Structures are given as C-alpha cells and as structure tokens.
Amino acid sequence: MERTAVDSGLFIAFEGGEGSGKSTQSRLLASWFETQGRSVLHTRQPGGTPVGQTLRSILLDPATGDLSPRTEALIYMADKAEHADVVLRPALDAGQVVITDRYVESMLAYQGAGRDLVPNELAPIADWATGNLNPDLTIVLDVEPSLGLARAGDHDRIEAEPIEFHERVRQYFLAAADGSASHIVVPAVGTPAEIHQSIVTAVLAWLEQPA
C-alpha cells in the first residue's frame, strides 16, 4: 500500500484545543511508528526551529500583551514558513514519518475563527508560506474548552483568552474535519493510554484506505 511504503514520507498533524493532549499523543504516536520500523521526526509549531522558538516566545508570553490580530497571524505564518522549509520538507523528502504538534489549521482556527479574521482569507497566505505543504492526515483531538483549559493549568497568552474564543476555535476544527477523508476526530477523554489506542486504531484504518 502506498501509504505504508517505507521509502515514502508521511506527514501527520495533530490539532485541537488547549488541554486536548496533543503533545502527549503526538509523541506516543511517534513512538508507535518507530516500533513499526519507521524513521520518525516529531516536532511542534510554533517553535520547531531556532527562529520559531523566538517567535513562540513572542506569541505565547503574557508579557507580549495585545497584538493586532493580523500581526499575530503573520508571525504564525513566519514560523510555519521557516518550519516547512527547514524541518518538514527535508524530513519528508528523506522518507521519514513527520508528526507535528500543530500546523496550519491551528492558525486558521485560532487567528482566523478565534480572532474573528476570515479563515478563507488566511488559507491562501498559509499555502504560500508553506509552499502548499499539507498534511497527509490531520488528527483532531476534541475536548470541551472548559475541560481542556482546566487541564492546561497556568495559562499562556492564548490560553488566557475568554471561553467564547476557545469555543470558536473548537467549532472551526470540527467543521474543517467534517466529511474530510484526510481528517480523524478523536474524543480526548479517558486515560492517555486509552486515547492513544483509539488513535492507533483510527490511523491503521486510514492507512488501509487507498491513497
């Protein structure tokens, strides 16, 4: 099957709201692929490069204060452009499984839907920034915003937004996944091991589908 060929790169993005467990589950899936004999790169956005780490500090530090929504979106775009060129594309060209904790859909959800910009206006800019590098599969971890924020603990600049902001973000993720063959929605409820097993089961089913 083309999707499981060992010499073919595979790009998987984890998306979802705050406290949904993306960091934990993306690492667990990376480890699972390694047990299947694949070379895996696990990364994150923002912050997967030295430049990205600097941008991450600006974006998430409460001391940054308010940013214009367009300014914030463009900073995220810059992170994604650098990440795609420096990290993602070389790894995929080398045949690795690339798993990223957040990608373009997070920017469309948070800066588009959350900030009341227009996601459809941001999407072409994101395509340009990443050179049209899109995930083969996007895994959306779905959690009620109130529960996710309680799990998150101390809040960074984005997490500190009102609950209505986070509800708009959640609804965008769900709408983007609805009816999409390249998306899997997994409820982020249960133990990390239980959620991981649900993800592996869904990924295996997706891999069995014709590419």
Q: What is the pLDDT of residues 76-106, one digit of tens each?
A: 899 999 999 999 999 999 999 999 999 999 9
> Amino acid identity, residue 179?
G
Give the least confident one: 10-14, 23-27, 153-157, 207-211.
Answer: 153-157
Nearest to 54, CA basis, from 79, 72, 22, 81: 79
CA 187, CA 195: separation in Å to the nearest integer? Answer: 8
Give the domains, in start order, of the chain with CATH numbers: 10-208 (3.40.50.300)
* pLDDT tens for each residue of 103-148: 999 999 999 999 888 999 999 999 999 999 999 999 999 999 888 8
The three-state secondary structure class of 21 is coil
Among 26-30, 64-68, 110-114, the range with the most confident prediction by mean pLDDT is: 26-30
Interacting residues of 209 by C-beta distance below 8 A, sequence separation 6+? 3, 181
d(CA 96, CA 11): 8
**Cα three-residue angle 125-129-135, rounded to 5 degrees:** 100
**pLDDT tens-place string over residues 3-16:** 454 557 999 999 99
Measured from the Cβ of residue 12, the count of other Cβ atoms closer than 10 Å reads 24
